[in-house]
């Protein structure tokens, strides 16, 4: 394994703090991931990817920058990677899955904010996220109050461009997001010095669509019973989708899918035992290394087969229309259309999300839904109440959980999850 100390130091990373982080993660990963039995061979690539997330991947981004390329860091599925790619830049995610530098964060943000926002602020203030340090621009958005106002604070430490995301799906919202995409194109063109052409945007759309198709294929394999991949492994792939080189990532997901589809065929002929309990997780995104709830669910004997989250279906469930033969303006309109199909809780009303969850529980043969929300995330916590009500009316078992990144409530969560799974098992008979 290469030594990246010099690279991190050159980036301005706080080396002693970063060493603490880098020491803690492998142990957690071994416990949560490597201890799983019967993992697909194709997961080896993603194990390597996660171990090199602060190393080799950052080196690649630096090499891209040395060739004159730019890096844009984002926190949201609304930010159009197609446009970033069309300008020859790379889009990456930001660190936000673990409490960090909380004392520093609480000097600039309120204490009772969602863990994700406090985390990304902590990674920046604590200088332990190389994606922040390598990024030329952070692209924020207004999907929730916490992010909207925190990006103002973040702007004190790094250049930030904020996109105004729509809150409804009326005609004017399509026009608004179209205008926001045009404004974003100007920003990325100015940053990179590259003008978008029909050919480059077509290329960007195709690359991102291919990534989404590979992830859709992965998701489809999970309809099989037994599901050929653990929920934790699937989540890891959804999480790393924000960081890896897009073409390599897409290829590796497809290789994994080949293996998973072979597993399904083999399981069918061998009459393999079906999943004990098939679970859907729905709610707020889970950033690396936030594996707390999936680990508890699968340790208690559940098998997660559907992730109704931004680190999950919401990231890839819709494609941009085929771009061939279209003008830049037409393709931008197509990106707008896809964006307005997103069923994030930032929209009002957002009945489409609840309808989808109900439909997917049937399609994926789900025994129960666990609705997960970060504490103080108003959009998802409030929508969780409505989802619970409607799923119960539809006869679907659901449990709502609210938590954060601490380990203090793990015992309590474990008890609740085990009790829920017991109820599901009795129901299943």
Interface segment toward a second copy; rule CB under 8 A; list 225-233, 273-281, 310-318, 371-379: 371-379
Interface segment toward a second copy; rule CB under 8 A; list 13-21, 54-62, 127-135, 348-356: 348-356
Interface segment toward a second copy; rule CB under 8 A; list 73-81, 178-186, 259-267, 407-415: 178-186
Q: Report helix, strand or coil for 134.
A: helix
Tokens 């079906």 map to which residue? 274
Taking the C-alpha atoms of residue 137 and residue 72, their distance in angstroms, rounded to an integer, is 5
Confirm or reject binding of residue 309 to a second copy (CB under 8 A).
Answer: no
Closer by beta carbon to a second copy, 1 or else 171: 171
Q: Which residues partner with 139 through β-bridges?
A: 74, 161
Closer by beta carbon to a second copy, 30 or else 175: 175
Closer by beta carbon to a second copy, 71 or else 163: 163
Nearest by Cα to 303 from 294, 292, 312, 315: 294
First to last CA, the chain: 50
Confirm or reject binding of residue 392 to a second copy (CB under 8 A).
Answer: no
Confirm or reject binding of residue 153 to a second copy (CB under 8 A).
Answer: yes
Confirm or reject binding of residue 379 to a second copy (CB under 8 A).
Answer: yes
* Cβ–Cβ under 8 Å, residues 80 and 182: no
Closer by beta carbon to a second copy, 30 or else 170: 170
Confirm or reject binding of residue 356 to a second copy (CB under 8 A).
Answer: no
Closer by beta carbon to a second copy, 126 or else 289: 126
Give the H/E segment covering residue 415: helix 410-428
Interface segment toward a second copy; rule CB under 8 A; list 2-10, 73-81, 168-176, 420-428: 168-176
Could you tell me which residues come within 8 angstroms of residue 248 by beta carbon, excluding any fewer than 6 positions away? none
Closer by beta carbon to a second copy, 105 or else 366: 105
Confirm or reject binding of residue 193 to a second copy (CB under 8 A).
Answer: no
- Among 91, 94, 129, 144, contact with a second copy (rule: CB under 8 A): 144
Interface segment toward a second copy; rule CB under 8 A; list 55-63, 110-118, 228-236, 307-315: 110-118
Task: State both tokens at 1.
Answer: 């394994």
Query: How many Cα atoms sit within 13 Å of 414 on the Cβ side?
Result: 10
Confirm or reject binding of residue 334 to a second copy (CB under 8 A).
Answer: no
Interface segment toward a second copy; rule CB under 8 A; list 6-14, 122-130, 253-261, 342-350: 342-350
Confirm or reject binding of residue 376 to a second copy (CB under 8 A).
Answer: yes
Q: How far is the CB of 199 from a second copy (least distance, A)?
A: 28
Confirm or reject binding of residue 186 to a second copy (CB under 8 A).
Answer: no
Taking the C-alpha atoms of residue 218 and residue 77, their distance in angstroms, rounded to an integer, is 19
285 to 15, 337, 345, 384: CA distances (angstroms): 28, 22, 12, 14
* Cβ–Cβ under 8 Å, residues 177 and 336: yes
Taking the C-alpha atoms of residue 117 and residue 311, their distance in angstroms, rounded to an integer, is 16
Confirm or reject binding of residue 352 to a second copy (CB under 8 A).
Answer: no
Q: How far is the CB of 65 from a second copy (least distance, A)?
A: 28
β-pairing, 302-308 with 90-93?
A: unpaired
Task: State both tokens at 285.
Answer: 């995104």
Neighbours of 19 (CB within 10 A): 14
- Among 27, 67, 171, 393, contact with a second copy (rule: CB under 8 A): 171
- Among 308, 343, 367, 402, contact with a second copy (rule: CB under 8 A): 402
Task: State both tokens at 117.
Answer: 């926002």
Confirm or reject binding of residue 142 to a second copy (CB under 8 A).
Answer: yes
Whole-number CA gyration radius for the chain: 21
Taking the C-alpha atoms of residue 376 and residue 109, their distance in angstroms, rounded to an integer, is 13
Confirm or reject binding of residue 180 to a second copy (CB under 8 A).
Answer: yes
- Among 275, 343, 367, 383, contact with a second copy (rule: CB under 8 A): 383
Q: Report helix, strand or coil for 93.
A: strand
Nearest by Cα to 162 from 65, 288, 88, 76: 76
Confirm or reject binding of residue 183 to a second copy (CB under 8 A).
Answer: yes
Give the H/E segment covering residue 140: strand 137-141
The edge-to-edge listing of strands for the beta sheet with 398-403 is 302-308, 277-283, 368-374, 398-403
Confirm or reject binding of residue 104 to a second copy (CB under 8 A).
Answer: no
Binding string to a second copy for residues 30 to 49, with x set by CB under 8 A, is what?
--------------------
Interface segment toward a second copy; rule CB under 8 A; list 32-40, 144-152, 283-291, 322-330: 144-152
Q: Which residues bind to a second copy, rule: CB under 8 A?
A: 108-110, 112-113, 142, 144-146, 148-153, 162, 164, 166-168, 170-173, 175-176, 179-180, 183, 345-346, 348-350, 375-376, 378-379, 381-383, 385-386, 402
């Amino acid at each position: 394994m290469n030594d990246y100390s010099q690279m991190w130091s050159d980036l301005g990373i706080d080396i002693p703090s970063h060493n603490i982080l880098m020491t803690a993660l492998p142990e957690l990963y071994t416990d949560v991931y490597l201890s799983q039995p019967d993992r697909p061979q194709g997961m080896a690539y993603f194990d390597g990817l996660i171990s090199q997330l602060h190393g080799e991947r950052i080196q690649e981004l630096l090499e891209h920058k040395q060739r004159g390329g730019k890096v844009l860091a984002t926190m949201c599925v609304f930010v159009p990677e197609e446009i970033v790619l069309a300008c020859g830049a790379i889009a990456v995610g930001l660190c936000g899955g673990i409490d960090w530098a909380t004392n520093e964060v609480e000097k600039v943000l309120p204490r009772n904010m969602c863990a994700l926002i406090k985390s990304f602020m902590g990674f920046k203030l604590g200088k332990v996220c190389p994606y922040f340090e390598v990024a030329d621009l952070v692209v924020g958005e207004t999907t929730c109050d916490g992010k909207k106002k925190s990006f103002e604070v973040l702007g004190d430490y790094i250049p930030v461009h904020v996109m105004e995301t729509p809150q409804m799906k009326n005609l004017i919202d399509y026009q608004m997001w179209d205008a926001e995409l045009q404004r974003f194109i100007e920003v990325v063109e100015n940053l990179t010095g590259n003008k978008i052409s029909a050919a480059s945007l077509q290329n960007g759309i195709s690359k991102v669509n291919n990534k989404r198709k590979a992830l859709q294929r992965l998701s489809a394999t999970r309809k099989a019973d037994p599901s050929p991949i653990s929920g934790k492994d699937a989540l890891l792939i959804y999480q790393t989708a924000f960081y890896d080189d897009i073409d390599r990532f897409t290829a590796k997901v497809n290789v994994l899918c080949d293996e998973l589809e072979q597993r399904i065929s083999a399981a069918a002929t061998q009459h393999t035992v079906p999943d004990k309990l098939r679970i859907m997780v729905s709610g707020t995104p889970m950033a690396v290394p936030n594996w707390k709830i999936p680990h508890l669910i699968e340790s208690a004997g559940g098998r997660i087969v559907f992730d109704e989250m931004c680190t999950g279906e919401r990231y890839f469930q819709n494609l941009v229309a085929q771009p061939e033969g279209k003008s830049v303006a037409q393709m931008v309109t197509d990106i707008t259309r896809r964006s307005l199909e997103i069923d994030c809780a930032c929209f009002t009303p957002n009945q489409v999300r609840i309808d989808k969850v109900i439909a997917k529980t049937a399609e994926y043969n789900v025994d129960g839904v666990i609705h997960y929300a970060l504490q103080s995330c108003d959009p998802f916590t409030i929508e969780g109440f409505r989802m619970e009500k409607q799923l119960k009316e539809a006869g679907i078992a659901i449990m709502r959980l609210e938590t954060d990144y601490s380990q203090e409530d793990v015992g309590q969560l474990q008890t609740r999850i085990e009790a829920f799974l017991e109820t599901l098992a009795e129901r299943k008979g």
